Amino acid sequence: MGIQLKSARVERWDVAGDFVISRGARNHVDVVVAAIGVDDLVGRGEGTPIYYQGEDALMCRDQILRAMPHIAGMESAEARAAVQEILGPGAARNALDCALWDLEAQERGVPLWQLAGAEAAPSPRTTALTISLAAPERMAEQAARAEALGYRLLKLKLTGEGDRERVAAVRGGAPEARLLVDANESWGQLDLMEEAEALLALGVEMIEQPVPSGTDALLDGIYAPLPFVADESCHTVADVARIGAFYDGVNIKLDKAGGLTEALRLADAADEAGLAIMAGCMLSTSLAIAPAFILAQRARWVDLDGPALLARDREPGFRYERGTILPPGV
């Protein structure tokens, strides 16, 4: 008997406080969850809609419902290959792809990491914690609390205005922390070299997506003292050739890539292009982090704090202890 759709549903999870970036604030996240079964086995996957791509959770659920008749009755590995053709990158394909990975691992009686070709079981990793966009003094307070909890890697959301003041305030609030910054495409009109040099002096070690997607050539010829990492500019393998000359790394998120299948391909392409890997995530529960955690084993920077930003997580969940992300049971 081949695979069947058990359910495709939208779930709402509250954020702990507010999650604020340059595009706005969020107090909850809607995710889409797919459950695919065969006999008494059920594989599950979760996707968070890419809002800046126009996705929403209901749309993603409906994409899953429309795709299922095309793969119903297939074997899980065959279905996973077919899904890559039926659906484009995004949260719907991510949820389906990861559910099929989960199901196949159960069918074969092997852990997911082994099925994905990893050499060893995933180990705990240091993860960044996001500092939401706010006034400098408020961001300093967030950073001080995070450092007191043991986080030693912080990622700051910036907006293109007053960024140096925000970074300086965070540095004062968390003097021992490593700092990453996410410009969220907001530096297109700034002197990029001058900004990078100023942040280097404040102890920043990486700048994520400084310019708007599609204007990546603004980085051509800029030899900044800090690595630039593509986020919105790099979703899938097809993007690497286009942006590789302008960036030093790529932030791989399963929702952007459309699942673990494409994310692993993208990681291979990044390695071949000499680009550092960052393993990132959207706001999500631990169900979405489980496959991303396999990718994180290959990453220079890990930013898998989605569940840590929620008011509660699903069980069993990843644990966050003193800045380290640990899988369930470890």
Name the residues annotated as catalytic. Answer: 157, 253
Phi–psi pair at 126, nearest 5 degrees: -70, 130
Which amino acid belongs to residue 242? R
Residues 228 and 196: their CA atoms lie apart, in Å, by: 9
| Dist. CA 69–CA 79, nearest whole Å | 11
Burial per residue of 211-249, b for 16 or more beta-carbon CB atoms within 10 angstroms, e otherwise: bbbeebebbeeeebebbbbbbbbbbbbebbeebbebbbb
CA–CA distances in Å: residue 283 to residues 73, 204, 205, 225: 32, 24, 23, 30
Which residue, among 177, 185, 108, has the nearest Cα to 142 in the 3D structure? 177
Rg (CA), the chain: 19
8 A C-beta contact, residue 236 and residue 89 = yes
Region of 196 please: left (phi>0), alpha (psi -120 to 50) or beta.
alpha
- Whole-angstrom distance, CA of residue 307 vs CA of residue 252: 17
Separation of CA 124 from chain center = 17
The answer to whether residues 219 and 192 touch, using CB atoms and an 8 Å cutoff, is yes
Rounded distance between C-alpha atoms, residue 47 and residue 279, angstroms: 15
